[in-house]
């Protein structure tokens, strides 16, 4: 009887090649995932030194047009007490995003922002610092605006 098969050496080499290929595929998938997440971790680490506060939030009632329409203009003053890598400040009024402000206060400085044309009475103003495009959850600050 003629038995023909794969020798032990050839089968061992094939198994080793399959294992190397599997490791390469896993590394390509997992390595890309790890590299993508470490940038976000670095930005979140920078968030810890960032310190923002709303020093004032007020609104004025604006009545204009025919028939008269009532809108509200909100003014927000933000102070930056610390943190070096602030890219933007996200401003939310009544839970709705108004803007990602790129003009940010210097360290220990303040910046005023104005938002005209709101159709409902502002009851809550929130800000959050952004480093790159990553919002810093520890900088979320809330204040109730008062009528000016």
Q: Which tens digits make up the pLDDT trace of 98-122?
A: 989 989 899 899 999 999 999 999 9
User: Residue 130 corresponds to which tokens in the numbers above?
Assistant: 């952004």
Q: How do residues 53-104 score in pLDDT, each as one tens digit? A: 999 999 999 998 888 899 999 999 999 988 877 889 999 999 899 989 989 8
What would be the CATH architecture of the domain defined by 51-147? Answer: Sandwich (2.60)
Q: What pLDDT is stored for residue 131 in this prediction? A: 85
pLDDT at 19 over 60: yes
pLDDT at 22 over 90: yes
Q: What pLDDT is stored for residue 37 in this prediction? A: 57
Query: Comparing C-alpha atoms, which of 80, 61, 56 is closest to residue 143?
Result: 56
DSSP the chain: -------HHHHHHHHHHHHHHHHHHHHHHHHHHHHHHHHHHHHHHHHTT-EEEEEEEEEEEEEETTTTEEEEEEEEEEEEEE-S---EEEEEETTEEEEEE---PPTT-EEEEEEEEESS----EEEEEEETTEE-GGG-EEE--EE-
pTM above 0.75, yes or no: no
Residue range 44-54: mean pLDDT, rounded: 82
User: Residue 84 corresponds to which tokens in the numbers above?
Assistant: 């070096």
Q: What pLDDT is stored for residue 123 in this prediction? A: 92
């Amino acid at each position: 009887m003629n038995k023909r098969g794969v020798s032990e050496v050839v089968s061992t080499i094939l198994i080793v090649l399959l294992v190397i290929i599997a490791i390469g595929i896993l590394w390509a998938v997992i390595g890309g995932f790890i590299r993508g997440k470490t940038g976000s971790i670095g930005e979140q680490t920078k968030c810890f030194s960032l310190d923002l506060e709303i020093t004032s939030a007020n609104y004025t009632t604006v009545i204009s047009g025919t028939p008269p329409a009532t809108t509200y203009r909100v003014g927000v003053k933000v102070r930056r007490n610390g943190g070096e890598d602030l890219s933007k400040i996200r401003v939310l009024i009544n839970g709705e995003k108004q803007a990602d402000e790129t003009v940010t206060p210097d360290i220990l400085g303040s910046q005023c922002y104005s938002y005209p044309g709101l159709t409902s009475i502002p009851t809550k103003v929130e800000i959050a610092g952004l480093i790159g495009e990553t919002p810093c959850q520890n900088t979320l600050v809330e204040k109730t605006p008062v009528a000016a």
